[in-house]
Structure 1
Amino acid sequence: MGLSPRAVAEGSPEGKRGLGIACSEGVASPQGRGQAQAKQAPGDRPTMGLKGAEWLARSIAASGQSHVFFIDAVLRPTLMALQAQGVRPILAHSEKGAAYMADGYARVSGRPGIVAAQSVGAANLAAALQDAWLGRAPVIALTGRKPPSAQHRNAYQEVPHAPLFAPVTRFGAAVEAASDLPRLFRMAWAAATTAPPRPVHLDLHGLMGEVVEQGDSGAEPADFSAWTAPRHRPVAEGAQIEAAAARLRAAGDVVILAGDGAALSGCGEGLQVLAEALQAPVVTSLGARDLLPSRHPLNIGVAGSYSAPPANQVLHEAGLVLMVGCDGGDQVTHGWRLPRPGTPVIQIDADALELDRCPAELSLHGDPRGTLSHLIEALGRPARDHAFARRASARMEDWRAAMAPRLASDEAPIDPARLCAEISAALPEDGILVADTGYSGIWTGTLIEMNGAGQRYLRAAGSLGWAFPASLGAKCAAGDRKVVCWSGDGALYYHLTELETAKRRGIAVTLVVNNNQGFGQGWPNLLRAAGNNPERAATLLRFGEHTDFCALARGFGLRGIRVERPEEIGPALREAMAADETVVVEVMTGIEHRAPEPWAPEERV
């Protein structure tokens, strides 16, 4: 059923997503929202204000943050002040774990995830921001820094921080004094939440930031609660929209390629209306796979390297491609082989830097949600040939029918396809699924069904081990919504210690461990390279058979449920999701089970 352009423009409760609901700067509330705007003229500035620690804590609390994430020892007075304000500091077991928690929190809440580490841990924290950068998540990283007198003279455990953070942050600044903090924190929050959201970094004077904490801020607390990502939603120029509508009306065999920028914009409703008006099949990036219902006849699934065959085949056959918030990188285009060279492209993106990376007939600079609503009005109700859309839908249905036996498989070791089917059935209407990279991304991206409304799908942008800590952060932002994490055993080894964090802080997620006792994605290639000698190949990619993740969970004071038969999966998932604490569901799968393989056009000779 289609939605009206007005409904698309205004947004319905079902279509609103965690990212980007409130975005207008300076919106005030009865509690004083908009305090981020200057309250006094420069000449009226008070001579004394809050200390840096108190200013930072009160501003974070006033801005709606429920949690911050950190590794000791940093900002101790600030953290204690945050507790007094009702904000929960979450001590993690590594800088990476803390950063991934902040990333997951940001993706669900739309507000920056805040993560802090002392000077010694700054390099680890910088490395951890890669996934937030690639995944377009707003994260504010705070680090301590030894004083200028210690710089460039072999200070113990100190290296220059700015070069470490430069590749993975949009904005970075050294905060020398407490009086600089209100200005620079405001700039950092603004930079983190503008489209596309990215991490930012503030380097605070003092090994633990204590110089900034103890000084006089000279300011009252700020409130940035109205500044969620994406903050600004510009609409493309009217003439460009009219031109795009005319070109789409004239084109046959249109395919819509929706990417992570479309997901950030929350344009699922508009995407569905436009696809139905054009009878255009929709393929998505992995990060945008929850925008439309998986079973909508025009949804052909994830395109690119982590895809099932139909999506790439349909994209290859397109007569014109409408790219909506899609970056055109190598994963979504399967190594830049899709769409066919020379295929006409119309592009809509809020990030001007993404426009025309691929040659485009028309490039529309605008927020996808707002721009699509105007494009739908300009398009009207064109007469369309349904043949191409029907062929695409039939191709998807044929593939689903071919996969159906695996989704119902009774094999043991368990086929992960059956695990996907059981998660599809168990995930609540507003549930959040968090998936790791590699095979975890392929299984969940191709075989788990999403409702295209209240459910969310968060995926690692490339950092193995990201999913479990990120799921803890996501749960901190999700309230009563259920969070399910899909992690391979290889990925879980990275941050297994965060089970202790989940127990200590009472964070409840369902941690599904796809345990095939090795790195499954590369197994067949390595096996061939080893002359089909499993013992030789196992020394490089297989783990020991004796690890018991359920026993490990019990060692951390949590429950574990071991699943060895397919019929046990559903009851185990329901039991875990009903719990008020993290439960490990260890599913014993086979490393020989292969995830769907992407289709690729034949290479040119």
Structure 2
Amino acid sequence: MTGSRYLAESLHAYGVSHVFFVPAVVLQAMAEMEDFGIRRVMTHGEKAAAYMADGFARASRRPGICLAQNIGASNLAAGLRDAYMARSPVIALTGGPTPRSHYRNFYQEIEDFTQFDPVTKFNARVEDPERLQDLLRQAFRTATSGSPGPTHLQLRGALGDSLEAEGDYTLVVEETHSRVPAYRPAPDGGDIKRALDMIAKATRPIIVAGGGVTISAAEAELRALAERLNIPVATSLNAKGSIADNHPLSVGVCGTYSRACANRAVAEADLVFFVGSRTGSQVTTNWTIPAPGTAVIQLDIDGEELGRNYPNSVSLLSDARIGLRMLLDAAVSKSATERCAWLTRIGALVEEWRALETPLLTSSAEPMRPERLCQAISDALPENGTVVVDTGHSGIWSGTMIDLNRPNQRFLRCAGSLGWSFPAAIGAKCALPDTPVVCFCGDGAFYYHIAELETAARFGLNLVVVVNNNAALNQEIPLFDKAYGGTQRGRAGEMWRFRPLDFAKIAESFDCAGIRVNRPQDLDGALRHALTLNRPVVIDATTDVNALARPAWGRPKGAY
């Protein structure tokens, strides 16, 4: 068969339902996909295609596929940055140079292969078309094994057209690599016992759940273990939703985008159990919470991460679900009375935080407070709903202020690339067509890929985009205040302000529904109505440009 047919058959056999791309690339393979019902989602930019594949992968826990011709490869590589940071299984295919075109000023040819090195787990050239057989399997194998991540194959020919030739192809598919986690390694039994002994002796233990919990779909096991041992749970942004925000053991998101009660709880703990977390700077507030010297247990599927940032008292090399199940099976229940003082303290911290933030969450101020938008999303998002959020202020406000209390609600967050959320929400909706999907972003983020409104309309994707519209990148205000020595002057606003625009009208021009909300009392009705419409909806919510997210709670200097 041709390599084109082999690619189409292989993707189908791996369960791929959508590919995201900018034409023209692997044209014959795209035509062959017609026979297998694979939806080919043409986007308005390669970065958007990568973000859509990323959102698809995170929502479905299956590899997302994105493609670009040679001239668009650099843009696709840039789009993989977020997937790499978030450990998302995305497989990228691009065109590339041929031996005949090298060193001859071939049209649009730049050797960009190495640009994929820092943003992939596996980066390979398919120099002989028949090597697609083993290299495509390796791309799926690497993307889904251990800690997931993006992979890239460069095909010969600017459009990847080397696959159009016939060759000897045998379809071999490793179905275990059609999802994450592909394998679920179990921890050593002795390490399980040592971990439980440490937890039993701790006076103030806490669990910090990371993205590995959600990748492994270990939410039920996390909650069950916390309840059996009466241990409070904080989460990273990647694990938000793994325990309900109103659960008595939940303290919220910790780190730099965090609830003060979560950081304070982790700071006061005498034992921190990281589950599926790489203990990076964001979840630990730049490695200050927990303080150096705090006893740490860490469970992770990637052995290289065990003890990377904190010397572990016990390391558990394991898939999150399997490891938590083994702990659960071996654990002896800990009554609430045994940790009464600690649980009382946790309840007081959470209550204090809610008392501080409730006036903002329920504010009737105009222009609106962004926290009020988050409250409206909390109230309107139904069970099984998924919220997809951007970075910066959007990540802080949504991670701290949106409550996920209904069954099977999901939270997909940007790992750091402003503008990610809207294309990622499109990808998530493709993966979960029967699931309500709400995107929360600022106007600065929405501008990045606003053209994808046409894509959403073209495919009839009924997602809801809530735009926190303050006509500015207002998170930069304190930075420019400092740069100007305290008070901005002259034309400083040119560096962070936009012209006021009505995104609802823009949405309507793309044949989407648009709703503009200026008053907080109209938010709830607008969101509930938007979720009933069978089309893409943009809610333009005008908010106060001077509303800034609270900085993360940190230890006072000299506290340790």
TM-score (norm 1): 0.89
Taking the TM superposition and a 5 Å limit, the aligned residue runs for 1:249-398 are: 249-357=200-308, 358-383=310-335, 384-398=338-352
Matched, 1:541 2:493: no
Residues 109 and 478 in structure 1, CA contact (< 8 A), matched pair in contact too: yes
Residues 192 and 326 in structure 2, CA contact (< 8 A), matched pair in contact too: yes
Name the CA distance, whole Å, in 2 between partners of 1:457 and 1:223.
29
Name the CA distance, whole Å, in 1 between partners of 2:487 and 2:317.
52
- Counterpart AA for 2:543: T
Name the CA distance, whole Å, in 2 between partners of 1:225 and 1:257.
29
Aligned to 1:532: 487
Q: What secondary structure is seen at the aligned counterpart in 1 of 2:57?
A: helix
Q: Structure 1 pair 319/422, CA: closer, same or farther in 2 (3 Å)?
A: same
CA-CA distance at 1:399 after TM superposition: 1.2
Q: What secondary structure is seen at the aligned counterpart in 2 of 1:480?
A: coil
Measured against aligned partners, the alpha-carbon deviations of 1:361-406 in whole angstroms (never above 9, x if no partner) come to 1111011111111112222124532211221122111211221121
Residues 55 and 221 in structure 1, CA contact (< 8 A), matched pair in contact too: no
Aligned to 1:403: 357
Structure 2 portions without partners, runs of 5+: none
Taking the TM superposition and a 5 Å limit, the aligned residue runs for 1:570-585 are: 570-585=524-539
Q: What secondary structure is seen at the aligned counterpart in 1 of 2:187?
A: coil
CA-CA distance at 1:592 after TM superposition: 1.2
Name the CA distance, whole Å, in 2 between partners of 1:437 and 1:287.
12
Aligned to 1:568: 522
Q: What secondary structure is seen at the aligned counterpart in 1 of 2:82?
A: helix
Structure 1 portions without partners, runs of 5+: 1-49
Q: What secondary structure is seen at the aligned counterpart in 1 of 2:234?
A: strand
Matched, 1:56 2:10: no
Q: Structure 1 pair 452/603, CA: closer, same or farther in 2 (3 Å)?
A: farther
CA-CA distance at 1:145 after TM superposition: 0.9
Aligned to 2:97: 146
More divergent stretch after superposition (501-510 vs 457-466): 501-510
Residues 258 and 326 in structure 1, CA contact (< 8 A), matched pair in contact too: yes
Identity of aligned residues (%): 44
Name the CA distance, whole Å, in 1 between partners of 2:173 and 2:25.
22
Determine which of 421, 432, 435 is the counterpart of 1:467: 421
Q: What secondary structure is seen at the aligned counterpart in 2 of 1:149?
A: coil
Q: Structure 1 pair 262/293, CA: closer, same or farther in 2 (3 Å)?
A: same
Residues 422 and 449 in structure 2, CA contact (< 8 A), matched pair in contact too: yes
Q: What secondary structure is seen at the aligned counterpart in 2 of 1:328?
A: coil
Name the CA distance, whole Å, in 2 between partners of 1:597 and 1:217.
60
Residues 292 and 452 in structure 1, CA contact (< 8 A), matched pair in contact too: no
Residues 20 and 52 in structure 2, CA contact (< 8 A), matched pair in contact too: yes
Matched, 1:449 2:383: no
CA-CA distance at 1:153 after TM superposition: 4.7
More divergent stretch after superposition (61-70 vs 218-227): 218-227
Measured against aligned partners, the alpha-carbon deviations of 1:178-205 in whole angstroms (never above 9, x if no partner) come to 3211211111111111121100001111
Aligned to 1:181: 132
Residues 307 and 598 in structure 1, CA contact (< 8 A), matched pair in contact too: yes
Residues 97 and 111 in structure 2, CA contact (< 8 A), matched pair in contact too: no
Matched, 1:424 2:378: yes
Matched, 1:412 2:366: yes
Q: What secondary structure is seen at the aligned counterpart in 2 of 1:179?
A: helix
Residues 256 and 282 in structure 1, CA contact (< 8 A), matched pair in contact too: yes
Residues 156 and 162 in structure 2, CA contact (< 8 A), matched pair in contact too: yes
- Counterpart AA for 2:347: S
Matched, 1:239 2:193: no
More divergent stretch after superposition (274-283 vs 202-211): 274-283
Name the CA distance, whole Å, in 1 between partners of 2:483 and 2:174.
58
Aligned to 1:76: 27
Aligned to 1:521: 475
Matched, 1:121 2:90: no
Matched, 1:111 2:62: yes
Residues 434 and 484 in structure 1, CA contact (< 8 A), matched pair in contact too: yes
Residues 113 and 139 in structure 1, CA contact (< 8 A), matched pair in contact too: yes
Q: What secondary structure is seen at the aligned counterpart in 1 of 2:24?
A: coil
Residues 140 and 177 in structure 2, CA contact (< 8 A), matched pair in contact too: no
Residues 52 and 212 in structure 1, CA contact (< 8 A), matched pair in contact too: yes
- Counterpart AA for 1:544: R
Q: What secondary structure is seen at the aligned counterpart in 1 of 2:474?
A: coil
Aligned to 1:101: 52
- Count of aligned pairs: 555
Q: Structure 1 pair 441/114, CA: closer, same or farther in 2 (3 Å)?
A: same
More divergent stretch after superposition (236-245 vs 529-538): 529-538
TM-score (norm 2): 0.96
Name the CA distance, whole Å, in 1 between partners of 2:240 and 2:550.
16
CA-CA distance at 1:152 after TM superposition: 4.3
Measured against aligned partners, the alpha-carbon deviations of 1:298-331 in whole angstroms (never above 9, x if no partner) come to 1111111001211111111111111111111111
Q: What secondary structure is seen at the aligned counterpart in 2 of 1:437?
A: coil
Determine which of 432, 436, 441 is the counterpart of 1:487: 441
CA-CA distance at 1:119 after TM superposition: 0.6
Cα RMSD after superposing both structures: 1.6
Name the CA distance, whole Å, in 2 between partners of 1:266 and 1:130.
24
More divergent stretch after superposition (270-279 vs 385-394): 270-279
Matched, 1:600 2:554: yes
- Counterpart AA for 2:418: L
Measured against aligned partners, the alpha-carbon deviations of 1:81-102 in whole angstroms (never above 9, x if no partner) come to 1123211100001110000000
Name the CA distance, whole Å, in 1 between partners of 2:82 and 2:371.
26
- Counterpart AA for 1:368: A
Determine which of 457, 461, 467 is the counterpart of 1:507: 461
Q: What secondary structure is seen at the aligned counterpart in 1 of 2:475?
A: coil
Measured against aligned partners, the alpha-carbon deviations of 1:390-431 in whole angstroms (never above 9, x if no partner) come to 211221112112211211111111111111111001101000
Aligned to 1:28: none
CA-CA distance at 1:597 after TM superposition: 2.6
- Counterpart AA for 1:126: A
Residues 477 and 496 in structure 2, CA contact (< 8 A), matched pair in contact too: yes
Measured against aligned partners, the alpha-carbon deviations of 1:28-85 in whole angstroms (never above 9, x if no partner) come to xxxxxxxxxxxxxxxxxxxxxx211111112212322221000111011111111232
